[in-house]
Structure formats: C-alpha cells, structure tokens
Structure 1
C-alpha cells in the first residue's frame, strides 16, 4: 500500500527553503508553504530562479519529494465573489500562484474558494470554476489546483461535497485531471461533518465526498478544532487538544484514502520567531509527529 506522507506548514523565516529544512528536521515527508505574502493578491509576484534552486536543494536535503509539497494560495483570492473587479484580481492572483508553483515543480496548490457575495452558491461555483480554468490554461505543467473545503461561515462556498462537486463539474474535461479538492478536518468538523462521532461515521462521510465529487481527496489538512461542532469557526489546535480529539485522526490514518497524498498539519508552532538561519524542527511539530506515528502504529 502507499505510504502516509506526513507534513506541516512550517515557519518560513529565512525563505521557503528554510521551511523545507525545518520540515525535514521534524521527520516529515510532505510540506506546505506560501510562495508570496498570503494577505495580498500576489498577482504581480514572480519567483526568481535562485529561489527555485535553493528550494529544490532544500527539498532534496530534507528528503521531501516535490510531489508531496502543497502551496497554499493567498487567503484573499475570493474567486467566488460576484464583484467583477475583485473577481478579476483574485483570478489573476490564482493564475500567478499557479505560475510560481509550477516553476517550483510542486505537486499542488490549494485555495479557499471564497464567499458568494450575491448569495447564490450555484453562480459562485461557476465563477470559481472559471478562475480555475483560467489559471490552469495560463501555465502548462503537472501541478494540480485543488479546492479546499471551508468551515462554512457566512456565504463561503465549499462547505458541502455538493458545492465542491458543482465547482469541479464546471471545469472543462481536458483540464479535469489537473484539479480536484482536499479536506481540512477542522473545517469539516466546524461545518457540521461528524468525523469525530465514530470510525463508521467518518468512513461514511468520506464515502459521501468521494461519491459526490467522483474522486478521492488530493490532500488532507490535519487540524484539531478550538470551536465546537458545527460552530463554523475556523480555529486550529494541536491534535488531541481540541474538540475533535486524537482518536478520529487514528481512524483517518486507517482509511486508505489517507495514503499516497500529503497529510499536512496546519497546527500552531511554538517558535514563530525562529532565526532565519535556524533549520531546527519546531517542538510542536515534533510532538505532533510523535503522536501521528503512534496513532499510525495503532491503526
């Protein structure tokens, strides 16, 4: 069977190559990072060749295959919006992210679809799919562009399997293999998916997502939740220290759909102020790696 590819969104002080080295120091074989400042559109940001080379060397040193790297697109790229000017800039930012990430040679880009500002999730799905299509057509390559499910606050799109499937349905057939989706455990729990209830219920939920979308997830974000079940609050906690608890992550590791894809922790870091030249693993990441390894052994 394929292996589990455990990883984290590590601190990138000093550059994304340092994020890779810190992930490798924690024993991870997967990684998530930003290629640009996540609070800005990044629609004009390019990536220099020397940065690409440093990142590639760091991945080799860390023992992380590029296919196991997920780039998280900027948070502000709300391509579900009905406001034309905002949509144009968000779509341009998504296309530019695909350009940077394809240059890096990573496996995937994940993004939050954003909010249906007109209150029409069907029309919003079409707008998200249009942005995906433009981004994929803007650059050739094998890097995939994956929709991330949401915690369901406000008018955000992507809370349900049906909404994600609706987005993917509008992507042209010739581009379909270059897109897909991923699931965040905190977002699932917060949006009312009872992944914590039992191993049986969790499997039924993953079955529903697979059957509705026609495919398995391309990644999982492994996050516990500070907010209560169905609270729509996107607040991540260390595994076993939130409302989900540790046991549901053992069930997930036992599910074959968790194998062969990046399993990324987006949990808190202890040392956000780590020196730019310090490639040591974060203590919290080491703790999470130990927990996941023990859960994997008990599956």
Structure 2
C-alpha cells in the first residue's frame, strides 16, 4: 500500500495539519513539533495537545505510525565543537521526546556537518547524540531516523556507508528504535543516478539496504533543481526538475515504497508524466496544494 502524504503547515496547531492532510486524502503526514529554526531543547508537549492531535488523525483516517516529525534544521550533531554538539544533542533528545509523546512513527533529522573535523569521527558523534537521545526517552514505537543529505560542504550522511556507520554505533538492543530515510533530491544532488534507469534506481536502494541491513523507513519525494552531483539541496515539484517523472514511477513500484510514509515537501502537485506512469499503482493525478 502506498502511503502518500506531504509536510503540512501547522498554522492553528498540529491538529490542523492533520485535518489539512485528511481533507486532501493523504494517508501519511509530516510535521514540525516546534519552530524548526531553533534548538527547542526546553519545549515540551502538553497531554491535551496530544489528545487533540490524535482525534484529528482519527478523523483524517491517518494512523499515527504513518506520521513523521521533522527535527529542527539547526541541529548539527556532527560538529567537533563541544558546546555546539552538546546543544545539538540536547535538541535531538528533546525532538525525540516530543515525537514519542505525540506517538508518531518517527522523527527524522539531518546529521549535520563535520566542519573542520574528520568525517568518520563526525559520523561517530552523530551516533553518540543518538545514543544519548535513546537513553533519556522511554521505549516506544517512535523511531529516531537519519535523513540522507545532499552532500554540500562537509555534511555527512550522503553515502550508504556513512549512514551505516552512524547506525552501527547504536547498541544492538536499541537498534530497532533507529533507522533512516531517503530524500530523492538529496540522492540525485549527491551524485546517485536515480534518473538514469529503473536498474540504476534499484541499485541505489539496494546499496543503502545492504549497508544498513534494512530498507528506508520513509521517503521524501522531491525533484531537483540542481544537476546530478551538484550537492545542491534545491527541491522542485515532481516532474518539473532534473530528475524527471519517470524515476518517481519506478520508485513507487519498488517494494521498498510500500507501507512507509511517502512525503512530498512543500506543495504537492503530481505532474502528468508521473500520473500517467503511476496511475495503475494508485498515485493520484492531482492533489490540492497545502
């Protein structure tokens, strides 16, 4: 089953985001749990807010396990700067705590940048931040999920090996609480030729699954304004970027797209090339803009 959704604005509160998603016929949803430009390491979630959110999800026909929270953009869990790392680690733990309180399927985060440090050590610092978050947040079905990066500058998490290095730093008895997701724009910008052919796309997914030992927990479906290997994190509407519509048709027919949140960032408009290729597998031809 394809769980198509989008990142919905939460003007009026996160229950309103769920209602917008339901009104648009979505089966998955992504939200922020706090203002994404700040660390929010002191921000909690009130029980009545959780209850209203779950009521709205039920009305929308969206299961809480199919909701992803996107962590704050400012977190850099890869930095060698101890003060900045400590604040980022605390922010990540709080994101995980809020997401667990909301009862969602996972919280995804950008690993960050090594800046002047070694990339391997940077990945190890990300793993340490994840371990700290896991240690302070009670066991639940909410997972802590790494999002692959576009590879700009010294950002880590671009390759299967880097994502695997972070996940391998998690104790085995906590590993089920973690995972990763893939953004198609980030893959393309990082130099993975997902638009070349179905076989090329499949190979990329295989490489990530082989390195990490598991398939992605979510997908961000974004075309790319930047060229292949440009390292530019510039999203475009599906079918209007340099990835093109065909690759999304191939992706949605891959087994790994089944049963996980498929999230479009920004306005969701499925273009004709994608609709014509994917109509047989349930991708709607048009959907309102949020």
Shift of the alpha carbon at 1:118?
2.9
Aligned to 1:209: 208
Q: How does 1:119-158 map to 2 (within 5 A)?
A: 119-140=117-138, 141-158=140-157
In the alignment, is the contact (CA less than 8 A) between 2:163 and 2:212 conserved in 1? yes
Note if contact 1:253-1:295 (Cα within 8 Å) is conserved in structure 2. Answer: no
1:297 aligns to what?
279
User: Structure 2 regions of 5+ residues with no counterpart?
Assistant: 282-290
Q: TM-score, normalised to structure 1's length?
A: 0.91
- Conserved in 2, the CA contact under 8 Å of 1:94 and 1:135? yes
Aligned to 1:272: none
Q: How many equivalent pairs are there?
A: 280
Counterpart pick for 1:61 among 44, 59, 62: 59
Q: Determine the structure 2 residue equivalent to 1:246.
A: 245
- Cα distance, 1:289 vs. partner? 9.1
User: What is the rounded CA distance, in whole Å, between the counterparts of 2:6 and 2:176 in structure 1?
Assistant: 25
1:278 maps to what in 2? none
Query: 2:288 matched to which residue of 1?
Result: none
Deviation at 1:288, TM superposition (A): 2.8
Following TM superposition, by how much is the alpha carbon of 1:12 offset from its aligned partner in structure 2, in angstroms?
1.2
Question: SS of 1:288's equivalent?
Answer: coil
CA deviation after TM superposition for structure 1 residue 297, in Å: 2.8
Pair 1:263 & 2:262 matched:
yes
Give the unaligned 5+ runs of structure 1.
Answer: 270-284
Q: SS of 1:7's equivalent?
A: strand
Distance 1:26 1:94 in 2: 31
TM-score, normalised relative to structure 2: 0.93
User: Tell me, what secondary structure is at the counterpart of 1:14?
Assistant: coil
1:49 deviates by 1.5
Residue 46 of structure 1 corresponds to: 44
1:81 aligns with 2:79: yes
Q: 1:114 aligns with which of 112, 115, 124?
A: 112
Tell me, in whole angstroms, the C-alpha distance in 1 between the residues paired with 2:183 and 2:276: 21
Is the partner of 2:107 in helix, strand or coil?
strand
- CA shift in 2, pair 1:69/1:295, >3 Å: farther
Separation in structure 1 between the aligned mates of residue 247 and residue 279 of structure 2, nearest angstrom: 14
* CA distance in structure 1 between the aligned counterparts of 2:18 and 2:273, rounded to whole angstroms: 21
Q: CA RMSD in A?
A: 1.4
